[in-house]
Structure 1
Amino acid sequence: MMPYLWGIYREQQHSPGREFDDAEILRLVAKHVEAAGYQVHLKTPEQLGAAYDPSTGRRPDPLPSLVFLMCERAETLSSLEPIEMQAIPHVNPLQAVLNTYRDRMIPLLAASAIPIPRSQIISSNSSDPGHPSPQLPTGPFPIWIKRADVHNTQSGDVELVSSPEDLRVALVALHGRGISHVVLQQHIPGDLLKFYGIGKPLASNRKDTWFKWFYHRDQELARYPFSEEALQTIAQRAASAVGLEVYGGDAIITPTGEFFLIDINAWPSFALFREEAAPQIATWLLRRLRQGALL
């Protein structure tokens, strides 16, 4: 039987305003993999739970040779664990996707000496008068408050607050949504840029990797000078720290040309570079398929 791959879409609630872009990059990658002679089954996260039905005789699909995934929820990832435990490669690895949750990402980046803004993880009920937190800052503001697990899913998940009172309001709102912990993060003025990357750079060889960056829209750019090579190095080090192979992220460039990594996440939409990125991702997947679970 011809080896075939699974591609798993991102949960729709994790693609606010990006539903088409997220789905399209997965479909385009699948198209390039199929052009190389492989079969691809694209699945929604909900379809992963399909089980054997004795009334119809339906059985789960046979095991794939590789899984490439954009899903992020812990529940969805756990449904893939039995497959990954059989040494079937996953891109990105399940643990790497979980490592992009901010409460895991921040310690991992800090331990790898990646330059990040000052950050602290606190309980979202720290504004409760009955459970006051000595960790709540009194200044300087503004600061960022971000949910400590997954990335942006809706308005209020990431917010710049300008005062202690605004911070308390944001904490109450997040706690009321069932989000138990948040990240408080230093605001660093500068140019905000986004980056995309594919591959795991070898010690002294980047020919097997792909990397692009661009300025984030809706900002007044100062265009501070910086080293693109240094940006790529920091981004690739950050991806390595959390275990990602297909990734994107955000960084701030300060007036002195310093970098601060704001976020790194698993398998973004690649919207501005989709036609260029898709065959690169497909090539990486086929390389991983040939080399197996270990790379």
Structure 2
Amino acid sequence: MIKIAGIKREKIFSPNHVINDDLIFSKTVECLNQLDVSVEIYEEDDVEKINERLIFSMARDKKTINQLLKTEGEDKIIINSPIAVWNCLRVNMVGLLTKNNIPFPLTVAGEIDYLKSISFEQIDNRKVWIKRGDVHAIHREDVIPVFSDEEKNNILDEFKRREIDTAILQKHIEGKVVKFYAVYGTDFFETYFSDRTNNIDFDKDKLKHYAAESAEAVGLDIYGGDAIISPNGDITIIDINDWPSFAPVRDEASIHIASFIYNKLKESTQLQN
């Protein structure tokens, strides 16, 4: 049995999804075991102990990602690449998605003091989203809608007090939020509306295309995200995430994730031979 490494996500980076993140990890391990692949499980604090050549990782801590960047440079294969995880931070993601012509809301990213110099009306005249830029959202207060310049600056000041250095200002897009889950380069692609309804028609193939382009832009293999479906069916990507919980589709997703990892393992073994 071939052995690979799996890194669990630290609980602080699983807001409201600790159990779901643990379950998709353990389900993936089970599916890999069925493919005759053994998984040595590591916590984020233990990455320096990893000896296995192929690593699948749900890690998000900055220190862990920095260590994995060094590890990846030592001829290790890491899924998702730590570079892709960095790219998913909103302050980095904005430029990558817009540069690749992916439908994305008007967004300004930068340091807090710079964003205070951007007026509310430069983004929208009704509603603007302020989103933490330095890490994925950890608290509810990391993603907040505001309706005036005064509110915007108050929230940015609060970010600064919380020692958050970067954020984004994003135009509000009217419509319903649809969540998507996928494994790059496979047919697996699932969606559901966040309010659990399904009463807006939209082109699922087009969303799959935009999601795959977004994943390619940031470098992800195992990914999910959010899009807005407008009343007329227009699609706007608003977020792309490394290795989400896949909670509504966990059983099916874990099979596809394990298969993807297994195929990467076979490719790496063939290259070594």
The alignment's TM-score, normalised by the length of structure 1, stands at 0.86
- In structure 1, give the amino acid aligned to 2:66: S
Q: Which amino acid aligns with 2:37?
A: Y
2:127 equivalent in structure 1: 142
Map 1:253-268 onto structure 2 (within 5 A): 253-268=229-244
Does residue 283 in structure 1 map to residue 268 in structure 2?
no
SS at match of 2:41: strand
Maintained 8 Å contact 1:249/1:264: yes
> Alignment partner of 1:156: what SS?
helix
| TM-score normalised by L of structure 2 | 0.92
Q: Does the 8 Å contact 1:191/1:222 carry over to 2?
A: no
- Indicate the SS of the match to 2:21: helix
Deviation of 1:86 after TM superposition, in Å, equals 2.5
Q: How does 1:104-119 map to 2 (within 5 A)?
A: 104-119=92-107
Q: Give the 5 Å matches for 1:220-231.
A: 223-231=199-207
- Residue 85 of structure 1 aligns with an amino acid whose one-letter code is G
1:116-265 alignment, distance < 5 Å: 116-126=104-114, 133=117, 135-138=118-121, 139-200=124-185, 208-217=186-195, 223-265=199-241
Q: Point out the structure with max Rg over C-alpha.
A: 1
Residue equivalent to 1:71: 59
Deviation at residue 67 of structure 1 after TM alignment: 0.6
In structure 2, what is the equivalent of residue 7 of structure 1?
6
Structure-2 separation of matches of 1:80 and 1:119: 30
1:270 counterpart = 2:255: no
3-state SS of the aligned residue for 2:136?
coil
Structure 1 residues 122 and 78: alpha-carbon distance in aligned structure 2, compared to 1, 3 A threshold:
closer
Partner amino acid, structure 1, of 2:151: D
Identify if the C-alpha distance between structure 1 residues 222 and 17 changes in structure 2 by more than 3 Å, giving closer, same or farther: closer
Shift of 1:145: 0.1
User: Which protein is richer in helix relative to its size?
Assistant: 2
- Name the CA distance, whole Å, in 2 between partners of 1:87 and 1:48: 15
1:104 Cα deviation after fit? 1.1
Shift of residue 47 of structure 1? 2.1
Q: CA deviation at 1:92?
A: 0.5
User: How many residues align structurally?
Assistant: 268
1:7 counterpart SS class: strand
CA RMSD of aligned residues (A): 1.9
Contact kept in structure 1, 2:4 and 2:52, CA below 8 Å = yes
2:176 maps to a residue whose letter is D
List runs of 5+ in structure 1 lacking aligned partners: 50-59, 201-207
CA displacement at 1:163 relative to structure 2: 1.8
Counterpart contact for 1:195–1:249, Cα < 8 Å: yes
